[in-house]
């Protein structure tokens, strides 16, 4: 991760809201002072439950290219079953951030590479605040709080403002509560612990 640009890749399953959160992260980062922000999805089979990725790129200067992120500084995993695929961490730079929605100790996710690892149990958080769709927890906005805690690139105030531009007032309340709970409950292994 450089001071000038941060590249992020999201891994989730169709219907989990990875694309929505990739967009909200770009919005929150813009509000945090990044001048160049972009977000784009990658789709294969477009169906609920299928693995999907999305990219977010943040820059202190204007962005002049819009390709998918191949060598991310941060990988965000919305479904920990995706950790079974080597493609999930493929290209993650050494000393990069791996943020996983999981209830396990971050040390148990040792990948053999020198990553900074953070986990938050976004499934439980989503259930606690009532973020359920068709019986499935919507974990994407909770993971924004985990990003803020582990990396410090955005703050909770930036997340709340970005949510206000994407959701109704009632939805902002529940989603922001999920982000705040995730911020409080994120467990980091070799993370910046919210330092900028």
Q: What was the pLDDT predicted at 145?
A: 98
CATH C-level class of 5-189:
alpha beta
Sequential pLDDT tens for the chain (196 residues)? 556 799 999 999 988 889 999 999 999 999 999 999 999 887 655 667 788 899 999 999 999 877 889 999 999 999 999 998 888 999 999 889 999 999 998 888 866 677 899 999 999 999 999 999 988 999 999 999 999 999 999 999 999 999 999 999 999 999 999 999 999 999 998 765 443 3
For residue 189, give the nearest of 99, 82, 76 by alpha carbon: 99
Question: Cβ atoms within 10 A of the Cβ of 66, count?
Answer: 10
The Cα 132–Cα 68 span in angstroms is: 30
- Cα–Cα distance between 52 and 47 in angstroms, integer? 10
**161: three-class secondary structure by DSSP:** helix
Answer yes or no: are the C-beta atoms of 58 and 37 closer than 8 Å: yes
pLDDT of 110 reads 66
């Amino acid at each position: 991760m450089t001071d000038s640009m941060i590249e992020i890749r999201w891994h989730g399953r169709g219907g989990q809201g990875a694309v929505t959160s990739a967009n909200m992260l770009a919005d929150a980062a813009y509000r945090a002072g990044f001048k160049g922000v972009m977000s784009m999805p990658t789709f294969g089979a477009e169906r609920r439950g299928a693995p999907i990725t999305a990219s977010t790129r943040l820059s202190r200067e204007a962005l002049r290219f819009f390709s998918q992120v191949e060598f991310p500084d941060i990988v965000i995993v919305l479904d920990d079953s995706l950790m079974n695929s080597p493609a999930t961490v493929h290209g993650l730079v050494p000393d990069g951030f791996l943020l996983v929605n999981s209830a396990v100790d971050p040390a148990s996710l040792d990948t053999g590479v020198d990553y900074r690892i953070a986990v938050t149990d976004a499934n439980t958080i989503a259930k606690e605040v009532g973020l359920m769709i068709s019986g499935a927890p919507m974990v994407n906005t909770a993971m924004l709080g985990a990003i803020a805690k582990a990396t410090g690139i955005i703050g909770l105030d930036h997340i709340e403002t970005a949510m206000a531009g994407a959701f109704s007032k009632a939805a902002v309340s529940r989603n922001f509560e999920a982000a705040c709970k995730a911020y409080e409950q994120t467990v980091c292994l070799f993370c910046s612990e919210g330092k900028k």
